[in-house]
Amino acid sequence: MHDTDFLQSDFTYGAGVPEKGATVGPSIALSIFADRPHLRATMRDDAEAAGLMVSASGVLTDPLEGSARPLGDVVLVDCPQVDAEALAALARLDMRAARCHARLIVSTTIEALDVVFCCMDQSAPVLLVDPDRAERVIALGQVLASFPSGRLRELSQDDRLMLLRLSEQVGQIAGKIERLVPGDAADTGPQASAFRFIEDAKPRNTGEDAVADSGASRPPLPDPRLVRRIIRQRQQRARFLDADLFADPAWDMLLDLIAARVERKRVSVTSLCIASGVPPTTALRWIGQMVEAGLFVRVCDDTDRRRAFIELTEKAVDAMARYFDELALAAPMPV
């Protein structure tokens, strides 16, 4: 079952939602910027159903005109097409959100994803690709869950189920990545993480000599032809069995990036979303988690500021190298 299967297009919040206009604790203000009037109306309905106060609503370019009004705590943005004016609006929203600690939820299309991703690099927005109404509500729930509990109403049982399903996906990769690096099981201090091998990594060299800069203790990286063969084998299962049974986007992206590392190729956000084998919005959520965990790093294109790439951190490269090294010792070909 998909995350959104239990949410209908005419989504309404479950029991425990305050009456419209009622709040619990200090209210959370929300702004909406979207060029499509019907979409603005839908966003407003869902926000007000959650007990939020809509402080501003208008077209995407409104932040560029007149004196700057307060953004609010959460900002919903829709940008299906990117032109110079839209880019300017997104860049300004990104800068202002980072400065005032507002949370951005930005929906776009797969065609505009790379440009939108690149120009919004300060505020860590939640990015959605061609979302339906349910996916926007899920994203709003994720953001609201990050606010201090005193500012939100008590979650109903339905809301808890929704957030549990979201967090369950994040937890699925914890055990897999944790096993990539032995010997860290005793790490239970305040900085302990499900991704056990992450530490305060030093800035990495992202130039052509990056592969040669790894430590002397790192095993050789795998032959990219082998990795690509594993990827193809994983994809072939969809010809015979439901692909949703084996969805493992974090692992598929790790495989794609380690192969690209050896091939000295750069991987765009759109390309990595495709490699994940899941819908782009889901892939973006995983990319965000992997960046936050210290496994992926965002690298801007020095020659084109409208492009950004995703690469493995040195810690992730070390872990993948050790993983393939152990596979080679155990069997001639990993299954």
- For residue 234, give the CATH number of its domain: 1.10.10.10
Residues in the chain, total? 335
Position with higher pLDDT, 294 vs 243: 294
* Spatial contact of 302 and 199, defined as CB atoms under 8 Å apart: no
Does 40 map to a domain? yes
Residue 7 one-letter amino acid? L
d(CA 53, CA 43): 12
Q: Are residues 124 and 263 in the same domain?
A: no
Q: Are residues 71 and 210 in the same domain?
A: no
* Spatial contact of 315 and 294, defined as CB atoms under 8 Å apart: yes
Return the sign of the alpha-carbon dihedral for residues 174, 211, 256, 323: negative
Return the sign of the alpha-carbon dihedral for residues 22, 20, 37, 124: positive
Q: Are residues 91 and 132 in the same domain?
A: yes
Name the residue among 34, 66, 28 with its Cα closest to residue 48: 28
pLDDT at residue 53 in the model:
86
Q: How far is CA 9 from CA 15, 49, 83, 132, 182, in A?
A: 18, 15, 30, 8, 46
> Quick one: tokens of 318?
């070390």
- Sheet of 267-268: strands edge to edge? 267-268, 308-312, 296-300
Residues in a beta bridge with 31:
56, 75
Does 24 map to a domain? no
Could you tell me the residue range of the domain that residue 238 belongs to? 176-330
Please give the mean pLDDT across all residues of the chain: 75
Q: Are residues 296 and 211 in the same domain?
A: yes
Q: Are residues 70 and 213 in the same domain?
A: no
Does 109 map to a domain? yes
Does 7 map to a domain? no
- Encode pLDDT of 81-95 as tens digits: 989 899 999 999 999
d(CA 192, CA 307): 33
Position with higher pLDDT, 10 vs 51: 51
Q: Are residues 96 and 234 in the same domain?
A: no
CA angle 8-14-17, nearest 5°? 135
The average pLDDT across 156-171 equals 48
Q: Are residues 180 and 297 in the same domain?
A: yes
Label residue 21 exposed, middle or buried (CB < 10 Å: 0-12, 13-18, 19+). exposed
Q: Are residues 145 and 191 in the same domain?
A: no
**DSSP characters over 239-278:** GTS-GGGG--HHHHHHHHHHHHHHHT--EEHHHHHHHHTS
Helices (H), the chain: 37-49, 84-100, 113-119, 133-145, 157-178, 224-236, 249-263, 269-276, 280-292, 314-330
Of 8-22, 45-59, 270-284, highest mean pLDDT: 270-284
- For residue 67, give the CATH number of its domain: 3.40.50.2300
What domain count does the chain have? 2
- Residue whose structure tokens are 């959100």: 97
Q: Are residues 139 and 237 in the same domain?
A: no
Does 101 map to a domain? yes
Q: Are residues 131 and 180 in the same domain?
A: no
- Encode pLDDT of 209-242 as tens digits: 444 444 458 888 999 999 999 999 988 888 888 8
Does 162 map to a domain? no
Q: Are residues 296 and 221 in the same domain?
A: yes
Alpha-carbon dihedral angle through residues 59, 29, 142, 18, given to the nearest 10 degrees:
-120
Boundary residue ending a domain (123, 155, 187): 155
* Spatial contact of 253 and 276, defined as CB atoms under 8 Å apart: yes
101: alpha, beta or left, given left = phi > 0 and alpha = psi -120 to 50? left
- Encode pLDDT of 288-333 as tens digits: 889 988 999 999 887 777 788 999 999 999 999 999 998 877 665 5
pLDDT(244) > 80: no
Position with higher pLDDT, 109 vs 195: 109
* pLDDT confidence bin for 139, thresholds 50/70/90: confident
β-pairing verdict for 308-312 and 267-268: antiparallel
pLDDT at residue 65 in the model:
76
> Quick one: tokens of 162?
């929704």
Q: Are residues 149 and 44 in the same domain?
A: yes
Residues in a beta bridge with 57:
32
